[in-house]
């Protein structure tokens, strides 16, 4: 990891488009915690899965061009690379690892991009760099300073594929039950739920090319999140976000027609949740730009004082209720005692019926 929180920033193509809320919320956090993101000049698309299924070399060459620019540019030279997008992360890190794996391969990459490239800088996703100790501590501090909380909100942290698989390239967290996002989300006071679909695939570009087959991948994610009590899903990937958030309406429509329950489970970037608790506004963080309305869950934000007052009020109410029940029990006991005393005379005289006795004992 970098010694300071300073990175060469690769925004990815969605940063100025479909994932504006991610850009806004991550930028807000960066400012708050002193994370410096220096944009790689004239970076190009990483190629993502389209390059990979077209040609293995193309999947290396496209990200390598941007990585080489980062090396050559004075403002970004020597910095590790950071990207918000899981797909960009996978492409950049795979290309970097390929070039770093042998001198021969590095030379091949240089020939493909027509530039020198040493492949020394490492690549991090926003999730990984924010989960690192320095950033996580700063985030925790900023949340404490803002004295805000999302206490009580149940969150299903969704990691998807590209941040954790393949483990040999990602070298980050557990690829079946990752915890890094859960730990960050817990800093807000929200409650990450245990669920089974943390690293299941959202269908990626198949939501466009194989919609009939791929829709159920989205639906299953919502079904499992709901079954485990989640009120929202947190994600760290623009494509996971788009697929889940954009397609939820269609999933709900289908379920309604089939007479099944629908889901009111908005999808958030994990950075939006952190940003809220650092004092960021709904518009400022882009939370008002979601397809499935996310504002109701954002309104669950309270100050720590409100939380303390609520807790005090709840405890007072509980104490009052306990006292009331105690009184009721006392009255009941006293009533039974006096009834039993009154009944005792005929019962002792042998005139009581079986029904009477049952009533007394009931």
Which of 99, 214, 230, 273 is the binder for other proteins (CB under 8 A)?
A: 214
Q: Who's near 24: CB < 8 A, 6+ residues apart?
A: 284, 285, 286
C-alpha to C-alpha distances, 359 to 35, 193, 248, 352, nearest whole angstrom: 74, 48, 57, 11
CA distance 83 to 123: 8
Q: Which stretch binds other proteins (CB under 8 A): 44-52, 127-135, 138-146, 315-323?
A: 44-52
Q: By CB under 8 A, tell whether 267 contacts other proteins.
A: no
Q: Residues 205, 47: contact at Cβ < 8 Å?
A: no
| x/- letters, 289..308, toward other proteins (CB under 8 A) | x-x-----------------
Which of 121, 161, 265, 267 is the binder for other proteins (CB under 8 A)?
A: 161
Phi–psi pair at 333, nearest 5 degrees: -60, -40
- Measured from the CB atom, is 6 or 108 closer to other proteins? 108
Which of 193, 196, 204, 187 is CA-nearest to residue 271? Answer: 187
Q: By CB under 8 A, tell whether 18 contacts other proteins.
A: yes
Minimum Å gap between C-beta 261 and other proteins is 22
Size of the site for other proteins (CB under 8 A): 53
Phi–psi pair at 42, nearest 5 degrees: 55, 35
Q: Which stretch binds other proteins (CB under 8 A): 130-138, 210-218, 253-261, 307-315?
A: 210-218
Q: By CB under 8 A, tell whether 47 contacts other proteins.
A: yes
Q: Who's near 141: CB < 8 A, 6+ residues apart?
A: 33
Q: By CB under 8 A, tell whether 331 contacts other proteins.
A: no
Q: What is the maximal distance between C-alpha atoms in the chain?
A: 112
DSSP 258: T
Q: Which stretch binds other proteins (CB under 8 A): 13-21, 122-130, 150-158, 270-278?
A: 13-21
Which of 102, 209, 261, 353 is the binder for other proteins (CB under 8 A)?
A: 209
Q: By CB under 8 A, tell whether 54 contacts other proteins.
A: yes
Token pair of 23, please? 């850009």
Q: Who's near 37: CB < 8 A, 6+ residues apart?
A: 7, 9, 27, 30, 82
Token pair of 322, please? 């306990």
Q: By CB under 8 A, tell whether 174 contacts other proteins.
A: no
Which residues is 155 bridged to in the sheet? 192, 232
Cis peptide before 197 (omega within 30 of 0): no
Which of 75, 77, 167, 322 is the binder for other proteins (CB under 8 A)?
A: 167
Which of 34, 152, 166, 296 is the binder for other proteins (CB under 8 A)?
A: 166
Residues 233-252 that bind other proteins (CB under 8 A): 246
Q: By CB under 8 A, tell whether 112 contacts other proteins.
A: yes
Residue ranges in contact with other proteins by CB under 8 A: 13-14, 16-18, 20, 42-45, 47-58, 61-62, 65, 112-114, 161, 165-167, 175-176, 199-201, 203-206, 208-214, 216-217, 246, 289, 291
């Amino acid at each position: 990891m970098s010694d300071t929180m300073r990175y060469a920033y690769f925004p990815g193509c969605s940063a100025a488009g479909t994932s504006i809320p991610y850009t806004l919320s991550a930028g807000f956090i960066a400012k708050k915690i002193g994370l410096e993101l220096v944009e790689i000049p004239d970076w190009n698309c990483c190629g993502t899965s389209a390059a990979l299924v077209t040609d293995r070399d193309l999947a290396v060459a496209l990200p390598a061009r941007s990585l080489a620019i980062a090396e050559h540019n004075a403002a970004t030279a020597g910095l590790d690379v950071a990207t918000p997008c899981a797909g960009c992360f996978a492409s950049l890190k795979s290309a970097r690892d390929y070039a770093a794996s042998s001198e021969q391969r590095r030379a091949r990459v240089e020939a493909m991009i027509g530039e020198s490239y040493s492949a020394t800088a490492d690549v991090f996703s926003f999730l990984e760099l924010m989960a690192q100790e320095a950033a996580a501590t700063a985030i925790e501090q900023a949340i404490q300073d803002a004295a805000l909380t999302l206490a009580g909100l149940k969150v299903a942290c969704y990691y998807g594929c590209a941040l954790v698989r393949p483990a040999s390239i990602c070298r980050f967290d557990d690829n079946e039950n990752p915890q890094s996002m859960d730990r960050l989300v817990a800093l807000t006071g929200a409650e990450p739920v245990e669920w089974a679909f943390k690293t299941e695939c959202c269908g990626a570009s198949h939501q466009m090319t194989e919609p009939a087959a791929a829709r159920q991948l989205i639906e299953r994610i919502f079904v499992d999140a709901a079954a485990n009590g989640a009120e929202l899903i947190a994600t760290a990937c623009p494509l996971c976000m788009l697929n889940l958030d954009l397609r939820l309406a269609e999933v709900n429509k289908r379920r309604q027609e089939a007479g099944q329950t629908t889901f009111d489970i908005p999808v958030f970037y994990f950075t939006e949740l952190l940003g809220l608790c650092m004092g960021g506004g709904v518009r400022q963080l882009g939370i008002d730009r979601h397809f499935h309305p996310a504002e109701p869950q954002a309104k669950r934000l309270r100050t720590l004082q409100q939380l303390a007052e609520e807790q005090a009020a709840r405890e007072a109410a509980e104490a009052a209720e306990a006292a009331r029940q105690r009184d009721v029990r006392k009255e009941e006991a006293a009533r039974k005692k006096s009834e039993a005393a009154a009944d005792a005379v005929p019962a002792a005289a042998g005139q009581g019926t079986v029904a009477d006795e049952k009533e007394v004992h009931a």
